[in-house]
Amino acid sequence: MGDYDEYKGQVLEVSQMLSEQGYFGTKSGSAGNVSVLIEGEEAIAVTPSGKKYGDMGAEDICVVDFELAHIDSRCDPSIEAPMHIAVYKNRRDVNAVIHTHQVYASVFSILNQPIPALFDEVTVSVGSSVDVVPYGLSGSPQLLENVVANLGNRCHCYLLQNHGALCVGRDLDKTVTYVELLEKTACIYYRALATGRPITTLPEPLTAVLMQFVTKAQDAEIARKDSLQRPE
């Protein structure tokens, strides 16, 4: 086995599962992308460009450094790999990134409408809001700049205007959960708005308290990484 086989296997498993469940917009295409940070390195394992998930094997997952130089790859990385790398550079609590084209989240991306804190069990996971990142063409420097500008809210889910969704987290398992929670919340919010009746959101003081749990877990992960970098 190679040094990166475990990371490649994780990315492949999650990508195929999300594709099969329709989170990438189609079950037969190559849209959406998944990455995981290589522990102790400035490198990621990321889905390749233009390859159908159903035809993909672990050997197709790309391992590239933060400059997109190939480390262990036979394919070109996703065009969105620079966006993933920008997240890792600017959110040290993040070790996994998933970009989806999931349906209900995408509805709010074209409405250019954030999703507020609606449920305590969701807010304590994904954060106090799901904000909209202004539009940038896929793979463009403008999209990277817009994503980075929104990461400071320390939430785990974002809407990419006229594009889809971006979820980030401590590991792939948690980030998949954020993808699912985002779609659940977006679906319920959409249906509630369709009634035309007023929407109740969580009280702001409670939202602030729940957000403290989110940032506490993030700070713990940053501290863990710092401890690994300290000389003995």
- Return the HEC string of the chain: CCCCHHHHHHHHHHHHHHHHCCCCCCCCCCCCEEEEECCCCCEEEECECCCCHHHCCHHHCEEEECCCCEEECCCCECCCHHHHHHHHHHCCCCCEEEEECCHHHHHHHHHCCCECCCCHHHHHHHCCCEEEECCCCCCCHHHHHHHHHHHHHCCCEEEECCCEEEEEECCHHHHHHHHHHHHHHHHHHHHHHHCCCCCCCCCHHHHHHHHHHHHHHHHHHHHHHHHHHCCC
Query: Mean pLDDT of residues grouped by 10 in the chain (232 residues)?
Result: 88 96 84 95 95 92 96 93 98 98 97 98 98 95 97 98 98 98 98 98 98 98 90 56
**What is the reported pLDDT for 31?**
85
Structure pTM? 0.96
Q: Beta strand 33-37 with 62-65: parallel, antiparallel or unpaired? A: unpaired
**What is the reported pLDDT for 232?**
52
**What is the reported pLDDT for 229?**
77
Q: Domain 5-229: which topology?
A: L-fuculose-1-phosphate Aldolase (3.40.225)
